[in-house]
Structure 1
C-alpha cells in the first residue's frame, strides 16, 4: 500500500509540473500576440505574471525528497541514511551522528528535511523530562548532555537565519507583508515550533548563563512574534520576570530583548512592556537598604530607557500613573488619617516620583513628557509639606532634589528655597544636641530617622549641610537670571536669622560663607543689569549673561563645584567598610553573578559555556537540594537574624530606620490602631512627634512594659527552635 501511494504521489506531482509548464507557455504567447493587454496586466496586476514552473518544481521536489510525517505529530524524521538506535521496544535515542547528519543536510545541501528533523529533535530536547503520559511508543529521548548541548547550540545559533531564508524575508519589509506570502503559508508552522519550544525551555531553565544565551539568540527572531500574539504576550511575561528577579547580566539581556520587541512590534507591545516593567519596579521598591538602592536605580533607568521607544504611548502611561499618585496624595490631604499618610510616606511612593522625575528630565521636549512636569512638581511639593517634622527631613530633602532636577532640565523656576529654609527653623536644629555625637546618618538611605538620632550632633550636621547643598544647587540654576537679586532676597534674610539664632559656631560659619557668595553673585548680576534697557518679561531677557553662563563665571557656579566635592567626600565617608553601596546590586536571586562582561553584539557567539553542563531540562534542574546545602542555607539565615537582633538591642529603637521585620506583634498593632493622627491641633510639640511616628508601619516598641515582656517570650522561644536541627528523611 505504501509503494502504491508513493507512486500516485509522484505521478500527481509530475502532472502538476506539466500543467505549470503549459501555463507558462501560455503567458509567453500572450506577450507576443496581445502585447497591449500584457502591458496593461503588467501595470495593474503584476503578481499574476510572476508565475513560474521553477517555483512549482521546487515545491514538488521538496515534497518528494523529504519523506516526512505530518508536522503536527512532532516526531523525529527517520531518514534512510541515518541509523537510529533503539532503546528496548519503546523509545528511540537521538545520537550525535544523527545530529551531525541533519546539520550537514542543512548547511551543505540546504534540505528542508534536515530543518524539520532538527526542529523535532529541538522539541524533544526542550521537553525532555516532561510528563508525556502513558503512550511512549513514538517518543524520542535525548540521552546525553553532549547531544542536548549540540542541538541547543545549533538551533539557537542558526535557526533564525535558516527560517529567514525559507521565508525569503527581506529586512526592508515588515511582517505584515511576509505573512501574506506563499512561503509563510508553507513554513509558518516551523517558526511557531521554534518559538514555542524555546519559550517552554526558558520556563524550565534555572542557570543564568543558559537563560542569557537563549534570550540573546531569540532577540534576533523577535520580528516573528508579531504573527503569534499569544506567544508574544508569554515572551513578555517571561522576560519581565527575568528582568526583575535575575542575577548577573540577565536583567540587562532581558531589557535588550524587551526593547527590541518594542522597536520591532509597535505600540501594542510597548503598552504591555511599560505596564509590566512599572509593576515590577514598584514591587522591587517596597523595601530599601544601602545595597538595594543601586539596584532600584538600575531598574528605574531601564524603565526610562524603554519609555523612549515610543514617546507618544509612554506619555499616556505617564499621565495615568502620575494621576494615580496625585489621587493618593489628595486622599491623605483630605482625610488626614494615618493609613492615608502611610500610603504616601513609603519607599514605593517616593521611588515612583523619582522614576517619573527621571523620565521627565530625560524626555523634556514639548513633544515628549514635558507636559506632565507641572503636575509632577505639584505632587512632589505636596509630599514635602505633608508632615513638617524633623524626623522626615530626609524625605523632604529627596523631594527638593527631585524639584531641582526638574527645574534644571526644563528651565522652569520652581520655588524650593522656602522648603529648605523652613527646615532650618525646626527646634531640633537650633537646640544643643542632647543625644551626644551619635553615629553618622546617611540621609540618602532613609525616609525617617529615629527619635534618638534626631537629638544627635551627627544628624544636625547632616541636615544643615544637606540644606546648604540643595540651596546652592537651586540658586546656581538662576545665578545668571536678571531677577536673581529678587529671588534670593528672602532666602538670604532667613539664612541670616538662622546664623544669629544657632549656637553652633560651625553652622554660623557655614551660613556666613553661603550668604557672602549669594551677595557676591547679586552684585555680579546687578552690574550687568544696570547696563540693559529691556524689561524682565521681554524676549531679550533670555539672552542675559548667556556667554557668562556658558563659561560658568558667576560666583555661585564656582562655589557650587566646591560644595559638590565636599558632599561627595562626606557621602563616601558614611559608607561603612562592610556595606558597600552598589556591591552586587544586580543580584536578585540566590546565586552571585559570574560575569557582567558578556557582549550582546556578538551574534556569532557559540554558547559552549552555556550548555556545556550536565543540566537537562525537567530532570537535573528539578532535583531537590542535598541535605548539606539546606543546612548551610539555614545556618546563614540564622546568622543574619542574630546579627539583626544584636543591632536592635544596641540601638534601642527597633525598626526605626525602616527595617523590615518578619514578625509583627499583635499587641503592638492593636495599640497603634488605637492612637489618633492629628497635625496642627492644640497638642504640644512632643505629642506632635508621637503622632508623626504613626505614619510608618507598625513596629514593636521595646520601651513599653507590655511589649517588652512579649518580645522576651518570643525571643526565648526562638532560641529554643534554633537548637533543634531539622531531620531529613
Structure 2
C-alpha cells in the first residue's frame, strides 16, 4: 500500500483506530488494477471463435481482426457467383457499421461496438458498401408478386419510427389532394398505391436486420461532408432502392435527403442523387408527386442568385428535373399546369397594379428560372411525341407558357431590362429548337434593337469592375449602361439570338416573308447606331439573310410545291438545308465562337493556376519568416 510506504506512523494509527477504512482502500485498489487490465471476450460466431476487446465503457472494439473475420465469412458462391454469408456474420457487420455511423458524429444511443481507429473505420465502411448489398438481396431471397396491401404490412415497423411534427406537416403537404383542389382543369390519372409490387421471400425474417442498416445508412448520408464519401453512399442507396421502397416513412425521409443533395452539392453528387431519385420514382408512383413538388421548391430556393459558377449547376437541375417529370407524365401534368398558372397570375397582377413590389415578383431570378425550367420540361416532352397521350398534354402547355414569357418581356420595356428580355427571347429559341414549332422569336429580337440603341447613346467607358456576363444579370445598372464590356456583350448576345432564330427558319419556304419586317428593323438600327462594332455585326447578318431569302425563292420556284404533299415539302426542306448561304454562315460562326470560348477557358485556367502558384509562394515566405 502507498500509505504504508510514505507514512508508516499514520499507518499504525489507522490499524489501531479504523481498520475498516483500510479494507475499503484495498478494495478500491483492486478495482483500479482490474480497470487497468484489458478486458477481452471470446465469442463463437458461425462456428468460428472471435476474440473481442472492450474499452473502458465496456463496449466491444472493432479492430482489424474483426474486419478480417467478417470478410472471411462473406464468400462467393461457386455456382451462382453471388456473395453469401451466414446470418450472424451479417449481424456483426451491421453492428460494426452502426459503430462507424456513431463515429462520424450522429446523435444516437451508444452502440454495442466502437471504432477507435480511422483506418479500421475506412475498412468497415468500404466493406459494407462493396459487399453487404448483394448479401442482403441473397438473404432476402427471390421476389414474389403480391398486392400493395402486403407492402403496407411490411411498413408496420417503419410506421413506428419517431418523426417530428415537421415531418407530419410535410406528409400533409405532399399529398396529391392539394392539387386536386384546383378546379380549372380536368386532372389526369393520379398515382395509386394499390398496384402490383414485389415482396422478398424471407422478408419477415430478415427485415429488422436490413432495416437497421438502411436507417443508419441514411444517418451516415446526412452527416458526411466529403464529396467522394457522399457519392459512394448514394451509389449504395441506389442499389438498395428495391428494399428501401418497402418502408413508407423511411423512403420518404430518404427522398428528402436526396433532393437536398440534388439541389445543393457538387455536380457529381447531384447526378448520383438524380439517378437514385429516378429509380425510386420508377419503383413506386406515389413517390413521384413528392419528388416533383420538393424538387421544384428546392430548385426555386437555389436560383435566387445566378453566377457563372452556378449557371452550369442550374442547367443540370433543369435537365434532370425534366427527366424526372417524364417518368409519369400523367402525374406531372397537373402540377406543371398549376405552376405555370401561378406564373401567369403574377404577371396579371403586375400588369394591373404596375407597382414596384408587383413588378419585382416577376423581374427576379426565381421567376425567370422557373420559366426556363418549364421550357426544358416541354422540350423534353416533345421528344416523346406520339409515345403516349400524356406526353402530348404536357407539350400542349407550350401555348400558355409562351404567352407568359411574352407578357414578361413586354411588361416593362426599359433599356435597363435588356438582359431580361434577352432571356425571354432565348426561351423562345429553346422552344423552337426542341418542339419544332414557329414562334416569332426573330421579330422579337428585332424589337430589342431599339433597346440596344438606347444603351449606346452615351459615350462608353472602360470600367474597373469585372463584368460577370450578360447571362448572369437581369437588369443593368446605370454604371453598367456605360460599361464598354456590357455593351459589347449585349450586342453580341442579341446578334447570337437573331442568328439562332434565323437558322431555325433556314429550311422553311416562308423564310423570305418572315425576314421582311426584320430587314426594315435592322436597316433602321444601322442608321441610328453609333457603335462601329454593332454596325459590322448586324450588317453582315442582314447581308446573309437577304442572300438566303433570294436562295429560298429560287429553290421554291425551281420545284413544284404542293402543300398537301408531305414528300414535296420534305424535298424543299432538304434542298434548303444543303449549301445555303445562311447555313454556311452559321456553321462558320459556330466554329469561330467555339474557338474563342476555348481560348478564354485556357486563359482562365492559366490565371487560376498562376494565382494558386502565387498563393503557395506567399505561404512558403510566411512560414520561412
- TM-score under structure 2 length normalisation: 0.72
Residue 303 of structure 2 corresponds to residue 330 of structure 1? no
Mapping of 1:357-372 within 5 angstroms?
Answer: 357-364=375-382, 365-366=384-385, 367=388, 368=391, 369-372=394-397
Residue 87 of structure 2 corresponds to residue 112 of structure 1? yes
State how far apart, in whole Å, the 2-side matches of 1:358 and 1:89 are: 57
- Out of 492-501 and 176-185, give the one that drifted further: 176-185
**Number of residues paired by the alignment?**
505
Higher RCO, 1 or 2 (CA under 8 Å, sep at least 6)?
1
* CA deviation after TM superposition for structure 1 residue 541, in Å: 6.5
> In the TM superposition, what whole-angstrom CA distance separates every residue of 1:626-647 from its partner, at most 9, and x where no partner exists?
xxxxxx9xxxxxxxxxxxxxxx
Whose strand proportion is higher, 1 or 2? 2
State how far apart, in whole Å, the 1-side matches of 2:456 and 2:267 are: 48
* CA deviation after TM superposition for structure 1 residue 535, in Å: 6.2
Residue 428 of structure 2 corresponds to residue 409 of structure 1? no
Q: Secondary structure at the match of 1:500?
A: helix
State how far apart, in whole Å, the 1-side matches of 2:501 and 2:218 are: 51
Paired residue for 2:68? 100
Paired residue for 1:345? 363
Structure 2: gaps spanning 5 or more residues? 1-41, 77-83, 152-195, 613-618, 620-625
CA contact 2:144–2:198 (8 Å) conserved in 1: no
Paired residue for 2:421? 396
Query: Which of these residues, 263, 267, 279, is aligned with residue 244 of structure 1?
Result: 263
Paired residue for 2:135? 162
Q: Secondary structure at the match of 2:411?
A: coil
Q: Secondary structure at the match of 1:85?
A: strand
State how far apart, in whole Å, the 2-side matches of 1:464 and 1:233 are: 48
Query: Which of these residues, 294, 305, 312, is aligned with residue 312 of structure 2?
Result: 294
Structure 1: gaps spanning 5 or more residues? 1-75, 585-591, 593-631, 633-729
Paired residue for 1:525? 552
Query: Which of these residues, 257, 277, 281, is aligned with residue 262 of structure 1?
Result: 281
* CA deviation after TM superposition for structure 1 residue 145, in Å: 3.2
* CA deviation after TM superposition for structure 1 residue 546, in Å: 2.4
Q: Secondary structure at the match of 1:344?
A: coil
Cα distance, 1:526–1:110 mapped onto 2, change above 3 Å: closer
CA contact 1:488–1:518 (8 Å) conserved in 2: yes
* CA deviation after TM superposition for structure 1 residue 465, in Å: 3.6
* CA deviation after TM superposition for structure 1 residue 433, in Å: 3.0
State how far apart, in whole Å, the 1-side matches of 2:106 and 2:449 are: 66
* CA deviation after TM superposition for structure 1 residue 393, in Å: 0.9
CA contact 1:169–1:178 (8 Å) conserved in 2: no
State how far apart, in whole Å, the 1-side matches of 2:57 and 2:601 are: 67
* CA deviation after TM superposition for structure 1 residue 537, in Å: 7.2
State how far apart, in whole Å, the 2-side matches of 1:185 and 1:144 are: 35
Q: Secondary structure at the match of 1:358?
A: helix
* CA deviation after TM superposition for structure 1 residue 400, in Å: 0.8
State how far apart, in whole Å, the 1-side matches of 2:450 and 2:197 are: 69
CA contact 1:420–1:471 (8 Å) conserved in 2: yes
* CA deviation after TM superposition for structure 1 residue 576, in Å: 11
Mapping of 1:218-617 within 5 angstroms?
Answer: 218-247=237-266, 249-263=268-282, 265-364=283-382, 365-366=384-385, 367=388, 368=391, 369-426=394-451, 428-429=453-454, 432-436=457-461, 442-531=469-558, 534=561, 542-543=569-570, 545-551=572-578, 553-565=579-591, 567=593
CA contact 1:469–1:567 (8 Å) conserved in 2: no
State how far apart, in whole Å, the 2-side matches of 1:304 and 1:246 are: 19
Q: Secondary structure at the match of 2:133?
A: helix
CA contact 2:507–2:574 (8 Å) conserved in 1: no
Cα distance, 1:508–1:262 mapped onto 2, change above 3 Å: same
Paired residue for 1:662? none
CA contact 1:499–1:508 (8 Å) conserved in 2: yes
- When the two chains are superposed, the root-mean-square deviation of aligned CA atoms in Å is 3.6
Q: Secondary structure at the match of 1:256?
A: helix
State how far apart, in whole Å, the 2-side matches of 1:407 and 1:427 are: 24
CA contact 1:496–1:511 (8 Å) conserved in 2: no
Query: Which of these residues, 112, 124, 143, is aligned with residue 99 of structure 2?
Result: 124
